[in-house]
């Protein structure tokens, strides 16, 4: 996988809105925060645009992404928020341009579809992590900022990923394995099946998270992936935050019961409760980078630098 250049104080972050729109005031607050922690900011037109539930027309949102990657003054591309709309622009992205101009690209939720496409087509490591309006407008929490700096602003060969002390990573299936981590939001991963941007899970460590889904919907999406063969050749699984993913009524399975029914029989190392996704803190993960799951100790490690120092 191609590693992008790491960020430094004074680097310029290009902001894009690939999905839903955000209030102008919140965009401005997030820009102020980025500047306060030492970055310069370049704002794409889509960040202040609106068309129904989208941040401007599809052509504009795709154009902004393409422009930020080709712009030599921009060092990284951060998404302001998710929502909905990325699937509408997947066929409008210039993937050759992105591969020729590799940069840090960060976001989560609906941005998962872009992570999958860029990982697959451009062979570029991208970063599942905080977005500016969603997570930074009032300032990042200490742990999220700590991992952002560790992962995209340094070239560490080994990073141990830890939750807050009071909310530890847990083990569902014991075992130890390392490999390339891919994935993101479960609903968006499922929505790639049958498209040219379908996720490739073969021989990978699969990371998933979600928000606001009843447990029967989580069951259905996991079964879709299982029936599509996407769970057949995994090395391991990392379950992130499943914010407000609850039974619809007392007769429904719990979230853990769903995981036990569908994932445990795969007999591969599985850890869960990692604080990455629609949660605080929201720990950065390098999609396409190498990680190690230690299911004996409930640990996750990022193995080898995922950015280059140039």
pLDDT one-digit tens code per residue, 76-135: 999 999 999 999 999 999 999 999 999 999 999 999 999 999 999 999 999 999 999 999
* Mean per-residue pLDDT, 222-230: 98
Is 109 one of the catalytic residues? yes
Task: Identify the active-site residue in 109, 134, 144, 305.
Answer: 109
**136 and 162 part of one domain:** no
Does residue 209 carry a catalytic annotation? Answer: yes
Q: Which of 67, 209, 213, 292 is catalytic?
A: 209
Band of residue 164 on the pLDDT scale cut at 50, 70, 90: very high
Identified catalytic residue from 46, 67, 128, 278: 278
Residue of 208, 219, 207, 277 whose CA lies nearest to 247: 219
4 falls within a domain: no
With 90 as the cut, is the pLDDT of residue 207 above it?
yes
**Residue 127, burial from CB neighbour count under 10 angstroms (0-12, 13-18, 19+):** buried
Confirm whether 274 is domain-assigned.
yes
User: Does 117 share its domain with 188?
Assistant: no
Q: Which CATH number belongs to the domain containing residue 256 in this structure?
A: 3.50.30.60
pLDDT value for 155: 87
Q: Determine, yes or no, domain membership for 5.
A: no
Q: What pLDDT shows up at residue 32? A: 98
Say what the pLDDT of residue 156 is: 86
Give me the number of domains the chain comprises.
2
Is 115 a catalytic site residue? no
User: Residue 54 maps to which CATH number?
Assistant: 3.40.50.10740
Identify the domain boundary among 142, 166, 196.
142
- 201 pLDDT band, cuts 50/70/90, is very high
Range of the domain at 41: 12-142
The dihedrals phi and psi of 148, each to the nearest 5 degrees, come to -55, -45
């Amino acid at each position: 996988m191609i590693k992008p250049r790491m960020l430094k104080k004074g680097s310029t972050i290009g902001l894009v809105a690939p999905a839903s729109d955000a209030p102008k005031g919140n965009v401005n607050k997030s820009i102020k925060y980025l500047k306060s922690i030492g970055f310069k900011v370049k704002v794409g037109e889509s960040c202040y645009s609106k068309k129904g539930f989208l941040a401007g027309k599809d052509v504009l949102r795709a154009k902004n992404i393409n422009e930020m990657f080709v712009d030599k003054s921009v060092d990284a591309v951060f998404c302001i928020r998710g929502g909905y709309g990325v699937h509408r622009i997947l066929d409008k992205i210039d993937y050759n341009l992105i591969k020729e101009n590799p940069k840090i690209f960060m976001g989560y939720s609906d941005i998962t579809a872009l992570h999958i496409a860029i990982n697959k087509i451009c062979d570029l490591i991208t970063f599942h992590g905080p977005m500016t309006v969603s997570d930074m407008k009032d300032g990042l929490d200490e742990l999220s900022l700590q991992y952002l700096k560790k992962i995209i602003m340094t070239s560490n060969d080994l990073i141990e990923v830890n939750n807050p002390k009071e909310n530890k990573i847990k083990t569902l299936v014991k075992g130890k394995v390392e490999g390339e981590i891919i994935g993101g939001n479960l609903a968006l991963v499922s929505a790639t099946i049958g498209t040219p941007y379908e996720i490739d899970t073969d021989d990978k460590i699969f990371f998933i998270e979600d928000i606001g889904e009843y447990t029967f919907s989580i069951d259905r999406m996991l079964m879709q992936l299982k029936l599509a063969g996407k769970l057949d050749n995994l090395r391991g699984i990392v379950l992130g935050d499943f914010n407000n993913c609850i039974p619809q009524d007392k007769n429904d399975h719990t979230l853990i019961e769903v995981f036990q029914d569908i994932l445990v029989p795969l007999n591969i190392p599985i850890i869960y409760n990692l604080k990455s996704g629609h949660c605080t803190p929201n720990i950065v993960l390098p999609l396409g980078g190498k990680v190690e799951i230690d299911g004996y100790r409930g640990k996750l490690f990022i193995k080898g630098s995922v950015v280059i120092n140039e």
